[in-house]
Structure 1
Amino acid sequence: MKKVLSVIAVMMIAILCISAQSVSEKSEDQKTLTVYAYDTFCGDWGAAGSIIPAFEEKTGINVNLVAAGNASEVLNKVMLEGDKTQCDVIVGITDDIAAKAYGVLESYDSPYLETIPSEYVFDAEHRLIPFDYGFFAFILDKKSGITAPTSLQDLTKDEYKGKVILIDPRSGSSVGVGLMMWTKNALGDNWTDWWSTMSQNALTMTSGWSTAWGLFTEGEAPLVISYTTSPIYDETGLQQALVFSEGHEATIEAAGIIKGTKHRSEAEQFIDFLLSEGQLDLGMANAMYPVNSSIELPAEYNNAPRAEKFFLNTDDQVAAALKQLTEAVLK
C-alpha cells in the first residue's frame, strides 16, 4: 500500500511540474505591448475602453496602456526617457507637434495607408500614421434665432456682440490654438485685428474647451468655437456646425512606433487595428472623423460637415503666431 501511495505521489508531483512548466512557457510566450497615449484616449469615455480589449482578444497580445497627459506631455515623456523608455507605440500625436516626434519613431508602411486620403497623410516617411482628424469651427445654437455668420469677419459685426464664446490660445488648449492658426491662415497679414475686435465683441474667452462648451450648452451664448464634429452627440438637432468658404484649421491625430522597440510585430498589429476594426470607435469616442475612407459612418455624422479647404501648421509656426498675437493683442 505504501508503495502504491508513493507511486501516486510521484505521479502527482510530475503532473504539477509539467503544469507549472506549461504555465511558465505560456507566460513567457505571451507578449506585452506598452502604449503611451493621451488622457482622453485612456479615460472612462475614451476609445481605449473598447479598442484595447478587442485588440487583446483578437491577437492574444497584452496591452500595457499608460496615460501620460496631453499629446505634448505624452511625447515629452518618451523623449525624457530616451533609450530606457518602455514605450512601444505612441498614440495621439497631432500634426502641429509632429516634427518633434520624428526622431524617436520608426517608419511603418501599413497596408491600411491606401485607405487614407493623401491630404491627411502629413508624414511622407510614415513615422506618424493618422487615425482620425477634425476641423475647428463655430457651432450655432439654432434655437437662438440669430442669423448664422458665414465668415470669420462676420463675427466681428455688432449683431454678434456678446454672442460668441472663444478660447484663449495662451492656455495651451488645442481648440484655442486651432482658432488662432485658423484666423492667421484665413485672414492674412491683418489677422491680429480680428482678435483685437473679438476681445471686445465676444461674450468671454475661456481657458479651455470644457468650460466654453459648458457655457454654450447652458445657453449663455449661441456661438462657440469647437469642431465640425461636435454636433454628432446632439440629440436635439439644434446644434449646427458652420463651414466657411475661406477654409478651416484642421487637426490630425496619429500614432507611431517607437524606434528600437523589441515588439515591432506587435506594434504593427496595433497600428493596423487602429486603422481597421478600431476606426469607428476612435471616431465616435473622440468626436472626430475616422481616416479610413472605407468606413461607413453612422447617421450621427450627418450633422458633421467636412471642410473642403483646410490648413495645417508646424509647431514653429504655432509658436511664432502665439508670440505675435500676445505682443499685439493678448498682453
Structure 2
Amino acid sequence: MKKNLYCLLHIFILISFSTVPLFAGGNKEAPASLALEVYCYDSFSSEWGPGPSIIESFTEQTGIRVNLHAPGDAVTVLQRLIFEKAEPWADVVIGLDNSLLDTALAEGILEPYASPGLRNVPDHLVFDGSHHLLPYDYGHYAINYDTLFMENPPDSLEDLTAAEYKDQLILVDPRTSTPGLGFLLWTVTVYADEWPAYWKRLRPSILTIADGWSQAYALYTSQEAPMVLSYGTSPVYHVEYEGSGRYAALEFTDGHIMQIEGMGIINGTENRSAAEALIDFMLEKEAQGILALSNIMLPVRKDVPLPPSFDSVLRPAQILALPSGLEDTGQLIDRWVEVFTH
C-alpha cells in the first residue's frame, strides 16, 4: 500500500542521495562513483512513499548512492526486467510480489541471496525458498468501502455480483498492476475453472477498471464509487493521517489472498556487495518502520512497533493459497481479456 498514492500521486521519480562515505556498516569506504540502480514501482519512489526516506538513511550509513527508477506498477517493472535481461541495466529490484515469483524465476532475471536479515522474518512470509526474492512487507487483498455511502456492504465475492451493487466497484487492470492480478488470482482460487463465469456475473457491478492502484484509489476517495479493490491495511492511512474511520476493509467469507512484496538482486549486476547491503538494510528495523507508515503495509519483522492506527488492519481468519503453476500468468491474463471484453 502506498501512502503517496493515498495522496493521489502517480508519478515517475528519480532520486539520488550522497553523504557519509561508509560502506557495509563502516567496513570500508565506498568508491565515490558507486551508485546502485534500483527498479521499483511508482509509489515506492514518489515523494510520500517509503523510497526517499529509506534511501536517504541507507546512503548516510553506507555512502552508497541509490537511483530509484519507477517505470510503473510491479507488473510493468517485471516486464522491463524481462526485456532487458540479455543486457541488464539495474542492480536491484524492489516490489515484485509472490504472484510474480514463478515468472521471475522462469525468466532467470534474479540472483539468489540469503540475507542474514531473514533470521528476523517468520518462515511463512519467506515465499521463495531459493532466496531470489526476499520479503519486505505484506498485506491482504480486500474490497474497501466507504461507510458514509454504503450501509449494507457485501460479505463475499459472490455478493459483489448482486444487482444492488451495480456500478459500485472499482477494480484494477491485471495486465499492468499486481493488485489487479491479485484479484484475478483470488477469483481463480475461489471459483477454479468457473472463474470466467464469475467475471461475467461480476461485470455489471464494475464501474471501471483502472490502469493502476493509485488511479483506482483516487477515484474511490473522490466518491466515484463506494467500493474499490485495495488492501486490508488501507484504513490505516485514513486513521493515522486523517483521524478518520470512514473507510473500512471487508472480510469475505471466501477467504483472502496474501500479497507479500519482495526484493532481489538482478542477475548480472556488477555491484553485488552494494546490492546485498541495500537488501540487508531493507530488513533492518528502521527501514521496516518506514515501510509500515509510508507504504501502509505490514512489516515482515514482528519486532517493529506499530502505532494504534494499525488496529484497523484487516487480519482475515482464512488465508487462501495462490493457484499453482503461475509460470505464465500471461495466458491467464489473455483469457481474462477474452472473457471480459466479450
Does the Cα contact within 8 Å between 1:283 and 1:290 map onto a contact in 2?
A: yes
Report the counterpart of residue 274 of structure 2 in structure 1. Answer: 266
Secondary structure of the equivalent of 2:130? coil
Secondary structure of the equivalent of 2:148? helix
Does the Cα contact within 8 Å between 1:35 and 1:63 map onto a contact in 2?
A: yes
Does the Cα contact within 8 Å between 1:33 and 1:263 map onto a contact in 2?
A: yes
Residue 33 of structure 2 is aligned to residue 34 of structure 1: no
Q: How do residues 1-331 of structure 1 correspond to structure 2 at under 5 angstroms?
A: 28=31, 31-82=34-85, 84-102=87-105, 103-169=108-174, 171-234=175-238, 235=242, 236-276=244-284, 277-307=286-316, 308-313=318-323, 315-316=326-327, 318-331=329-342
Q: In structure 2, do the counterparts of structure 1 residues 28 and 198 end up closer, same or farther at CA, with 3 Å as the change threshold? A: closer
In the alignment, residue 94 of structure 1 is paired with which amino acid?
D
Whichever structure has more helix as a proportion of its residues is 1
Question: For the aligned residues, what is the CA RMSD?
Answer: 2.7
* Runs (5+) with no aligned partner, structure 1: 1-25
Q: Percent of counterpart pairs with the same letter?
A: 40
For residues 54-96 of structure 1, give each alpha carbon's deviation from its aligned partner in whole angstroms, at most 9, with x where no partner exists. 0111122222333343334434444444465353222222222
Count of matched residue positions in the alignment of Structure 1 and Structure 2: 306
CA distance in 1: counterparts of 2:140 and 2:299, whole angstroms: 13
Question: 1:274: how far off?
Answer: 0.3
In the alignment, residue 155 of structure 1 is paired with which amino acid?
L
For residues 238-292 of structure 1, give each alpha carbon's deviation from its aligned partner in whole angstroms, at most 9, with x where no partner exists. 1110112322223222111233434333222211110112112123322222111
CA distance in 2: counterparts of 1:121 and 1:94, whole angstroms: 11
For residues 101-158 of structure 1, give each alpha carbon's deviation from its aligned partner in whole angstroms, at most 9, with x where no partner exists. 3323222221221222222222111111011122211112112252232111112223
> Relative to structure 2, which stretch is displaced further, 67-76 or 248-257?
67-76
CA distance in 1: counterparts of 2:202 and 2:269, whole angstroms: 48
Q: In structure 2, do the counterparts of structure 1 residues 159 and 52 end up closer, same or farther at CA, with 3 Å as the change threshold? A: same
CA distance in 1: counterparts of 2:150 and 2:80, whole angstroms: 47
Secondary structure of the equivalent of 1:127? coil
For residues 281-309 of structure 1, give each alpha carbon's deviation from its aligned partner in whole angstroms, at most 9, with x where no partner exists. 12332222211122122222221212341
Does the Cα contact within 8 Å between 1:161 and 1:202 map onto a contact in 2?
A: yes
Does the Cα contact within 8 Å between 1:247 and 1:311 map onto a contact in 2?
A: no
In the alignment, residue 198 of structure 1 is paired with which amino acid?
L
Does the Cα contact within 8 Å between 1:196 and 1:329 map onto a contact in 2?
A: yes
CA distance in 1: counterparts of 2:31 and 2:327, whole angstroms: 45
Report the counterpart of residue 19 of structure 1 in structure 2. Answer: none
CA distance in 1: counterparts of 2:245 and 2:173, whole angstroms: 28
CA distance in 2: counterparts of 1:180 and 1:47, whole angstroms: 27
Q: In structure 2, do the counterparts of structure 1 residues 274 and 196 end up closer, same or farther at CA, with 3 Å as the change threshold? A: same
Secondary structure of the equivalent of 1:321? helix
In the alignment, residue 241 of structure 1 is paired with which amino acid?
A
For residues 21-60 of structure 1, give each alpha carbon's deviation from its aligned partner in whole angstroms, at most 9, with x where no partner exists. xxxxx78467433323233222222212101110111122
Structure ID, larger Rg: 1
Does the Cα contact within 8 Å between 2:88 and 2:267 map onto a contact in 1?
A: no
TM-score by length of structure 1 reads: 0.81
Does the Cα contact within 8 Å between 2:182 and 2:257 map onto a contact in 1?
A: yes
CA distance in 1: counterparts of 2:225 and 2:49, whole angstroms: 28
Does the Cα contact within 8 Å between 1:247 and 1:309 map onto a contact in 2?
A: yes
CA distance in 2: counterparts of 1:201 and 1:189, whole angstroms: 21
CA distance in 1: counterparts of 2:83 and 2:334, whole angstroms: 26
Does the Cα contact within 8 Å between 2:103 and 2:327 map onto a contact in 1?
A: no
* Runs (5+) with no aligned partner, structure 2: 1-28
Q: In structure 2, do the counterparts of structure 1 residues 190 and 300 end up closer, same or farther at CA, with 3 Å as the change threshold? A: same
CA distance in 2: counterparts of 1:86 and 1:206, whole angstroms: 30
Q: In structure 2, do the counterparts of structure 1 residues 245 and 53 end up closer, same or farther at CA, with 3 Å as the change threshold? A: same
In the alignment, residue 296 of structure 1 is paired with which amino acid?
P
